[in-house]
Structure 1
Amino acid sequence: MNADLLQALPPGRDRRLAHGEALFRAGDAALGLGLVRQGVLELVRTSPEGRRLVLHRAGPGETFAEASLFESHHHCDAIAAVSSLVTVHPAAELRRVARADPGLAWRIAAHLAARLVAERARAERLALPHAADRLLDVLHALPPEPDGTRRLGRSWKSLAAELGLSHEATYRALARLERAGLLRREGGDRVRLPAAATA
Structure 2
Amino acid sequence: MDLTRLTDGGVSVMQQRARPGQVLAEASAYSARYHCDARAVTATVVRAVPVARFLERLAADRLLAEVWAAHLARAVQAARMRAEILTLRTVAERLDAWLREGRALPAKGAWQDVAAEIGVSREALYRELSRRRREPP
Confirm or deny a common fold (TM above 0.5): yes
Label 1:153 to 1:117 Cα distance change in 2 as closer, same or farther (>3 A).
Answer: farther
Label 1:153 to 1:70 Cα distance change in 2 as closer, same or farther (>3 A).
Answer: farther
Q: Distance in 1 between matches of 2:109 and 2:30?
A: 30
- For the residue of structure 2 that corresponds to 1:139, the secondary structure is helix
Matched, 1:57 2:17: yes
Matched, 1:160 2:115: yes
Alignment match, 1:89: 49
- How many residue pairs were aligned? 136
| CA RMSD after TM alignment | 2.2
Within the candidate set 109, 126, 132, 1:171 is matched to 126
Label 1:101 to 1:128 Cα distance change in 2 as closer, same or farther (>3 A).
Answer: same
Label 1:153 to 1:113 Cα distance change in 2 as closer, same or farther (>3 A).
Answer: farther
Q: Distance in 2 between matches of 1:113 and 1:153?
A: 32
Q: Percent identity?
A: 38
Higher helix share: 2
Alignment match, 2:103: 142
**Could you tell me whether the CA contact under 8 Å between 1:42 and 1:56 is conserved in 2?**
yes
Shift of 1:101: 2.4
TM-score norm. by structure 2 comes to 0.83
Q: Distance in 1 between matches of 2:9 and 2:132?
A: 29
Consecutive unaligned residues of structure 2, counting only runs of 5 or more, are: none
Matched, 1:120 2:48: no
Higher strand share: 1
Q: Distance in 2 between matches of 1:85 and 1:153?
A: 24
Query: Higher Cα Rg: structure 1 or 2?
Result: 1
Alignment match, 2:32: 72
